[in-house]
A = this chain, B = another copy of it.
Amino acid sequence: MNNYKSIDDIADLDLAVNEALTFKQTQTSLTHLAKDMVLCMLFFNSSLRTRLSTQAAAFKLGMQVMVLNVDSDSWKLEFEDGTVMNMDKAEHIKEAVQVVSQYADIIGVRAFPELISRQSDEAEPVIKAFVKYATVPVFSLESATEHPLQALTDVMTIKEFVPKKKPKVVLSWAPHPRKLPHAVANSFVKAMKRVDCEFVITHPEGYHLNPELTKDVMINTDQKQAMQGADVVYTKNWSCYEPYGGIVMPKEDWMITSEKIGTAKFMHCLPVRRNVVVADEVLDSSNSLVIEQANNRTYAALWVINKLLNGKD
């Protein structure tokens, strides 16, 4: 693994999950693994969990960390090739990435989609430019269409807290006041396709994901029916895929309630809007895994950073 921009970059997902959970359980210091190496994290967008958990992971590995909010700490970057840069963008990504590669041993980058043009978001201009120009390993802190650290975390959490052999896992769309990216859902779908489970996606009419991605997945637009017998309900809002970035209508009745979820485990990547996406009763119940998920973010990041710095495959 040379870079980590998709859950599919992990060749052996089972092994990765086991190794990451072993890191979590170890009682001994891991600071020798990347002693004095440097992580540079570049944020084009806001972050709380990803920023802090990845920093925590790097610290556990003995690393130093530098963090840059690209737009506010520095300036806007140009991603197009061949442009005459006489507008508001002061530096080309080509220079920026080559330069930053010289200051760190590994680079993490977050850049959300614009949700205006599907084609341009799916081209993944930011993460791809980093991978193209960097001379050190690059990993995604969430890109336009994927959130692979989250997906690894999610598989770890299911493995840890849902011991059943072939669990029924339901990915349910939920309401949200803003139009959100597909990245978390996409990466979760990719992950579930590689895990031994009964996987179902449920969403209102008009909220399908990328059909190419979900073509082999069972989809049911009746949320109640889809969730019947579920062991895990993974909840997430996303905006329409067609028309891209749109919102069909509120659909408040898609909120996850305790009546709907029953005894299934509740999962969500956070941040989550209470009583919009999910009722307090669910989030505050012992069936909610959201805090454990967030904890596993550290060990997913730790595994990825260690693999990229020290792994050979």
Contacts and interface: CB of A to CB of B under 8 A. Distances in A.
Interface of A: 29, 31, 36, 38, 40, 43, 46-49, 51-53, 55-56, 59, 62, 64-66, 68-69, 72-75, 78, 81-87, 89-92, 95-96, 98-100, 102-104, 177, 270-276, 280, 283, 290-291, 294-295, 298
Give the interface SS of chain A, mostly helix, strand, loop or mixed: mixed
Contact of A73 (B51, B283, B294, B295): B51
A94 to B, nearest CB: 8
A295 B46 CA distance: 28
B86 A273 contact: yes
A68 to B, nearest CB: 7
A-B residue pairs, 3 tightest by C-beta: A91-B271, A48-B74, A85-B273
Contacts of A90: 271, 273
Given A48-B74, A83-B274, A86-B273, 9 more contacts: A36-B62, A43-B73, A49-B99, A55-B66, A82-B275, A85-B274, A90-B273, A91-B273, A99-B270
A142 B14 CA distance: 46
Nearest to A100: B52
A270 B252 CA distance: 50
A222 to B, nearest CB: 25
A280 B271 CA distance: 42
B83 A68 contact: no
A83 B274 CA distance: 7
A79 B295 CA distance: 22
Nearest to A98: B291
Residue of A75, A274, A283 ringed by the most chain B CB atoms within 10 A: A274
A181 to B, nearest CB: 14
The interface centre, meaning the residue of A65, A72, A86 with most chain B CB atoms within 10 A of its CB, is A86
A156 to B, nearest CB: 14
A85 B276 contact: yes
B273 A95 contact: no
A47 B91 CA distance: 12
A295 B95 CA distance: 12
A86 B271 CA distance: 13
A66 B65 CA distance: 9
B48 A91 contact: yes
Nearest to A292: B102
